[in-house]
């Protein structure tokens, strides 16, 4: 591991001053479940690591008039301690329960889940985020892409966003507070992510001096019917192959408005707008859920070895919808 400085600030302000002009200068450390491994493997090599877990204001969840505020450095397992805050959001609960293992949930944070780096094995094995060989050709289309993107995968990015919490948070209309040297701003969760178009771009929109400080799930979302369905090969210690999170504004048995967000299918969390349109105004039953699943799969472009993920999208969406109204 490259030598690095360790900053352990107790205030947000101090933390921001410790960050650098680029990610090679400094990176934020929260749960440390992944950053340290990436550093050991020289996939990332920051000169300074800034721990934000000692900053009290970044930890814990609070019910407010505006909604549920969750500090970005809140440990996932802590969200279960008082079941009350997550009660209206089974979609979020399912996603958290699906995070790998009790050990990961006991160390990992909400912000860390959102901003973790992709699990793409070419990236992890040192071929860069865009997985290119020495001639600059992408390795993914002709390689083993069983876990790669089926949407927004025209290149150069083929990895999938690994966040478990992003799909339910986006479906629930949550916002993120980002604080930088010039103050703080609120953005939608979806706006945290982008599909990089060239080698210099990160998959997150945060700047090197920004810190994700808080998540807000608005109060109005409490009345949404919501659910997450994850398809996973192993029950524990595994990444979902595809996830679907749905949030429904119902009028009796009819869907007034639906939000359907897929995970593990694109370089960003993937909004399935065709599925949302297919649901609007419909009575939600098995057939309508299946139709929405089919609609969600429209426009998928599987690579050589991940065609099965298209089917998983169909079924994950269908099952999430049926679970949401069960």
Partner 1 sequence: MANIAWPPASKRGLIGKSISRIDGPEKASGRAKYTYDQNPASLLVAKMLTSPYAHAKITALDTSAAERMPGVRAVYVFNGVGKEVNWEGHEIVAVAADTEELAEDAVRRIRVEYQQLPYFVDDADLAQAAKDGRARQLGAETSGDPSTGFQQAEVTSEGDYGIPVITHCCLESHGSVAQWQGDKLNVWISTQNVSGSAGEYAQSPELNVPASNVNVDCQVMGGGFGSKFGVDTWGLAAAALAKKAGRPVKLMLERKEELLMAGSRPSLRGKIRVGAKRDGTLVAWDSDSWGTGGMSVVGIHGLLPYIFRGIPNRGSRYTAVRTNTGPARAWRAPNHPQACFLTMAALDDLAAKLGMDPLDFFVKNLPLAGERAALYQEELQKAAELMDWKAKWHPRGDKAPGPTKRGVGLSIHTWGGLGHDSYCRTTIHPDGSVEVATGSQDLGTGTRTVINIVAAETLGLPLDGVRVEIGDNKYPPDGASGGSTTVGGVSSSTRVSATNALNELLAKVAPGLGTTPDKLEAVGGKVQVIGDPSKAISWKKACARLGTTPIVAMGQRNMSLISSGVGGAQMAEVSVDVETGVVRMEKMVAVQDCGLIIDVKTAMSQVYGACIMGTCYALHEEKIMDQQTGTCLNPNMEFYKLSGLDDVGDIVVHMMTDSAIESRGVIGLGEPPVISPGAAIANAVANAIGVRVPDLPMTPGRVLDALGKGEKA
Residue 234 interacts with partner 1 (CB under 8 A): yes or no: yes
Parallel, antiparallel or unpaired: strands 48-51 and 26-29: parallel
Hey, how many other C-beta atoms are within 10 angstroms of the C-beta on 167?
Answer: 33
Greatest alpha-carbon pair distance for the chain in Å reads 60
- Long-range residue pairs from 127-133, CB within 8 A, at least 24 positions apart, any chain: 128/199, 129/157, 129/159, 129/196, 129/199, 129/202, 129/203, 130/156, 130/157, 130/196, 130/199, 131/158, 131/159, 132/156, 132/199
Q: Which of 146, 222, 254, 282 binds partner 1 (CB under 8 A)?
A: 146
* Rounded least distance, CB 199 to partner 1, Å: 18
DSSP-derived secondary structure letter, 125: I
Which C-beta is closer to partner 1: that of 39 or that of 284?
39
Per CB under 8 A, the segment of 62-70, 79-87, 137-145, 194-202 that binds partner 1 is: 137-145
* CA atoms within a 13 Å half-sphere pointing along the CA-CB vector of 265: 33
Side-chain-side CA neighbours of 87 within 13 Å: the count stands at: 7
Q: What mask, x for binding partner 1 by CB under 8 A, covers residues 293 to 312?
A: -------xxxxxxxxxxxxx
In the set 35, 139, 247, 278, which binds partner 1 (CB under 8 A)? 139
Q: How far is the CB of 135 from partner 1 (least distance, A)?
A: 11
Q: Is 315 in the site for partner 1 (CB under 8 A)?
A: yes
From 43-51, 64-72, 118-126, 186-194, span contacting partner 1 (CB under 8 A): 118-126
> Residues 31, 108, 118, 143: which binds partner 1 (CB under 8 A)?
143
Binding segment for partner 1 (CB under 8 A), chosen from 12-20, 104-112, 230-238, 262-270, is: 230-238
Give me the least distance between CB of 103 and partner 1, in Å please.
Answer: 13
**Least Cβ distance, residue 324 to partner 1 (angstroms):** 18
Among 25-33, 73-81, 119-127, 244-252, which window interacts with partner 1 (CB under 8 A)?
119-127
Is 231 one of the binding residues for partner 1 (CB under 8 A)?
A: yes
Question: What is the C-alpha to C-alpha distance for residues 47 and 39, in angstroms, rounded to an integer?
Answer: 10
**Are the CB atoms for 18 and 26 separated by under 8 Å?**
yes
Instruction: Convert 194-233 into a string of H (helix), E (strand) and C (coil).
Output: CCCCCCCCCCECCCCCCEEEEEEEEHHHHHCEEEEEEEEC
- Considering the complex, what minimum distance in angstroms separates the CB of residue 123 from partner 1? 11
Q: Which stretch binds partner 1 (CB under 8 A): 20-28, 104-112, 117-125, 184-192?
A: 117-125
In whole angstroms, what is the distance from residue 326 CA to residue 323 CA? 5
Of 124 and 254, the one with the shorter C-beta distance to partner 1 is: 124
How many residues form the binding site for partner 1 (CB under 8 A)?
Answer: 38
Q: Which is nearer to partner 1, 73 or 303 (CB)?
A: 303
The pair of three-digit structure tokens given for residue 82, joined into one six-digit string: 């008082």
Q: Which residues form the interface with partner 1 (CB under 8 A)?
A: 1, 119, 121-122, 124-125, 127, 133, 139, 142-144, 146-147, 231-238, 241, 300-312, 314-315
């Amino acid at each position: 591991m490259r030598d690095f400085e360790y900053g352990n600030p107790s205030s947000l302000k101090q933390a921001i001053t410790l960050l650098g002009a680029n990610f090679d200068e400094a990176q934020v450390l929260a749960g440390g479940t992944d950053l340290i491994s990436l550093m050991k493997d020289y996939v990332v090599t920051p000169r300074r690591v800034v721990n934000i877990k000692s900053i009290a204001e970044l930890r814990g969840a609070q019910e407010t008039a505006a909604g549920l505020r969750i500090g970005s450095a809140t440990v996932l397992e802590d969200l279960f301690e008082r079941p009350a805050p997550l009660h209206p959001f089974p979609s979020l609960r399912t996603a958290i329960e699906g995070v790998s293992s009790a050990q990961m949930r006991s160390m990992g944070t909400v912000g860390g889940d959102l901003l973790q780096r992709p699990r793409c094995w070419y990236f992890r094995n040192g071929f860069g985020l865009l997985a290119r060989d020495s001639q600059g050709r992408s390795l993914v289309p002709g390689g083993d892409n069983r876990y790669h993107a089926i949407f927004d995968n025209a290149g150069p990015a083929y990895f999938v966003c690994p966040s478990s919490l992003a799909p339910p948070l986006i479906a629930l209309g949550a916002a993120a507070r980002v604080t930088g040297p010039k103050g703080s701003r609120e953005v939608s969760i979806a706006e945290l992510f982008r599909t990089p178009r060239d080698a210099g771009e990160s998959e997150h929109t945060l700047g090197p001096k920004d810190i994700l400080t808080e998540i807000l799930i608005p109060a109005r979302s409490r009345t949404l019917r919501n659910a997450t369905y994850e398809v996973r090969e192993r029950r524990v210690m595994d990444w979902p192959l595809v996830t679907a999170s749905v949030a429904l504004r119902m009028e009796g048995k009819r869907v007034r408005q639906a939000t359907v967000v897929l995970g593990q299918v694109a370089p960003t969390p993937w909004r399935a707008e065709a599925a949302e349109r297919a649901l609007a105004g419909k009575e939600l039953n098995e057939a309508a859920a299946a139709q929405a699943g089919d609609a969600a799969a429209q426009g998928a472009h599987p690579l050589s070895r991940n065609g099965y993920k298209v089917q998983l999208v169909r079924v994950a969406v269908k099952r999430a919808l049926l679970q949401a109204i069960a």
